[in-house]
Amino acid sequence: MEDKKKISIVCFSGDFDKAIAIFTIASGAAAVGYEVNLFFTFWGFNIIKKKKGRSFIGKGILARVFNFLMGGFKNLPLSRLNFGGISPKLMTYMMKKRNVATLNELIQASIDLGVNFYACEMSMIILGTKLTDFIPQIKEVLGVAKFLEIARGGEIIFIS
Amino acid sequence: MKTLLDITKEHCPMTFVKTKLALSKLNKGDILEVLLTKGEPLENVPKSASEQGYKVLSVEHVEGDVYKVIIEK
């Protein structure tokens, strides 16, 4: 019996370039018939926060300040040579110019192709965030056991 | 129904992402004509389409690096 094609990605990183890697693999795999599961945790939350800029979300003063400092989708840094946030903008400009899909296009394609989005329960407890703080595509909040159950029989990648 | 999709200006992964999205919008029996370039798109688009149960009717050379792949859903 042929194994079901399945790939599950633990999205630990909140870096711009790594988010591109996540959604390139996710959309590409979904397009060739894989079941794709994205499990967002800790810094990865910056990719899926509903409020795109810096914002004081979460429960408790420490969590709110930490979430503000973590930032959001609009300030995802490049993992190297970020230059105060200019590089991700330059990178998007270069991608458009060379006709390579931008991060937003890759995310939209992943959504359209039915990629599954999940959020990590433990990180949500630490950061005091609720499901409603994230984009509506987040299907469910998962712990490790449930994640392993979903990922079972497929490949797992950790992007840090 | 016949639909034309031009992915000659696209790069990985958008070549097969756009093909898959276009195919998902069609009804069974509809035809998708895909214009693509040789190399990665020409190798992967027909392969991934037939792997997913779509029927690749033909692959023809158009001009230069451009090929046309005809897929039936």
Summarised one tens digit per residue, pLDDT across range A26-83 is 999 999 999 999 999 999 999 999 999 999 999 999 999 999 999 999 999 999 999 9
pLDDT band at A158 (very low <50, low <70, confident <90, very high): very high
| Dihedrals phi, psi of B58, to nearest 5 degrees | -160, 155
Cα separation, A109 vs A86, in Å, equals 25
Q: What per-residue confidence (pLDDT) applies to A128? A: 96
A84, pLDDT greater than 70: yes
Cα separation, B32 vs B49, in Å, equals 11
Q: Give, as one character, the DSSP assignment of residue A134.
A: B
pLDDT band at A1 (very low <50, low <70, confident <90, very high): very low
Cα separation, B64 vs B43, in Å, equals 16
Closest CA to A103 of B30, B47, B42, B13: B13
Q: Which of A31, A33, A98 sits opposite B13 (nearest CB)?
A: A31
Closest CA to A19 of A102, A82, A94: A102
Which tokens belong to A63? 């969590």
Contact B19 A112 (CB under 8 A): no
Measured between CB atoms, does B43 come within 8 Å of chain A?
A: no
Q: What per-residue confidence (pLDDT) applies to A4? A: 76
Q: Which of B9, B12, B24 sits opposite A28 (nearest CB)?
A: B12
A151, pLDDT greater than 60: yes
Task: Tell if the pTM clears 0.90, that is, is over it.
Answer: yes
Q: What per-residue confidence (pLDDT) applies to A2? A: 56
pLDDT per position as a tens digit, B12-38: 999 999 999 999 999 999 999 999 999
Closest CA to B30 of B56, B49, B2: B2
Q: What is the mean pLDDT of chain A?
A: 95
CB neighbour burial string for B49-73, b if at least 16 within 10 angstroms, e if fewer? beeeebeeeeeeeeeeeebebbbeb
Contact A113 B17 (CB under 8 A): yes
DSSP per position, A139-159:
EEEE-HHHHHHHHTTSEEEEE
